[in-house]
Chains A and B, each alone.
Chain A
Amino acid sequence: MFDQVVAAATDPDGTTRAVSRAIELARVSGGTVHVVAAVRRRRHLSVVEDRRAADPGLDPDAALLRRLEAMAARDSVPIRLHPLRSEPAEAITAVAEQERADLIVVGSKAERRSRHLSDVSKAVMDRAGCAVMVV
């Protein structure tokens, strides 16, 4: 049923939940998971970002993506990473459209016992043509 599942890597906590769920669904359906890690374009790069650019080992996003790859490998699910420098909701929906995704999985904020839809989740729900699951 889910040949192409797009998982949104928005924040570390929500990303892990979203990618885990996406892997679970793709494993049952024999599909592929596309992880979209999008960060907003900034006008000025800070010194820290300059250092990250020079040494990818320091980049927490790269470390997170490597961890997600390992998660998918454990379940033998094909995974494709889409690290993009763009507005997150726009990037997620664009990749979903390009890959003809059946489902987008987005993690949202969970603080203690309450949880709230993030702006990215809302924007993805508004723009996406396929089903959107918020975990």
Chain B
Amino acid sequence: MAIDSSEAAQSAFLFVTEWARSFDAKVWFIQLAAESHDRHGCVVTDFARGGRRMANSFAISGATRGARTRQLVNTIADAATTYRADLLVVGFDRDRMSQGSMSGSLRDQLYEATNIPVLVAPRRKAARPVETRVPPPAIALGPGPAVAIPRARKKLAHV
């Protein structure tokens, strides 16, 4: 599952969670954490930084959108190959997915770079049951603020 930090990523996460529960599937996430316009383009993963066995977040940089898209595609395709994925779920911002460059949009390139089915997560968030909280019954501890309390008369104030 490849995601960024957009709203599409949230709905993709919910979708994949339900998928994994239904089909008893293993899910591996790869998240685009940062993107910069640095002229010297490169991909930085948490594998390189933190010494983890597999990267699950990465940052891309490149002067042009086409260069950054290529890095994104290559990183995701490599991850899919590494994990022998059966399905690639994409949860990127829809504009990012469809915006094209000379070599095609992100979704075009992703589909061409892999040989597995590509699933674009639903636009809307998965319906979740609305929690209706019933307030607990109030405990009677004496007169409420709406009840007028008779004030003591001056001559009885000393009692």
Contact = CB atoms under 8 A, between A and B. Distances in A.
Of residues B15, B87, B115, B118, which shows the largest number of chain A Cβ atoms within 10 Å of its Cβ?
B118
B53 interface: no
Contacts of A134: 111, 117-120
Interface stretch (A5-13, A42-50, A80-88, A120-128): A120-128
Interface string A49-90: 000000000000000000000000000000000000000000
Contact of B23 (A28, A114, A131): A28
Interface in A93-135: 108, 114-117, 122, 125-126, 128-135
Given A126-B98, A131-B15, A108 B111 contact: yes
Contacts of B94: 126
Given A1-B19, A125-B98, A133 B117 contact: yes
B107 A125 contact: yes
B22 interface: yes
A110 B18 CA distance: 30
Contact of A1 (B22, B111, B112, B122): B22
Interface of B: 15, 18-19, 22-23, 87, 94, 97-98, 107-108, 111-112, 115, 117-124
25 contacts: A1-B19, A28-B23, A108-B111, A114-B112, A115-B115, A116-B108, A117-B111, A117-B112, A122-B98, A125-B97, A126-B94, A128-B123, A129-B123, A130-B124, A131-B15, A131-B120, A131-B121, A132-B119, A132-B120, A133-B87, A133-B117, A133-B118, A133-B120, A134-B118, A134-B119
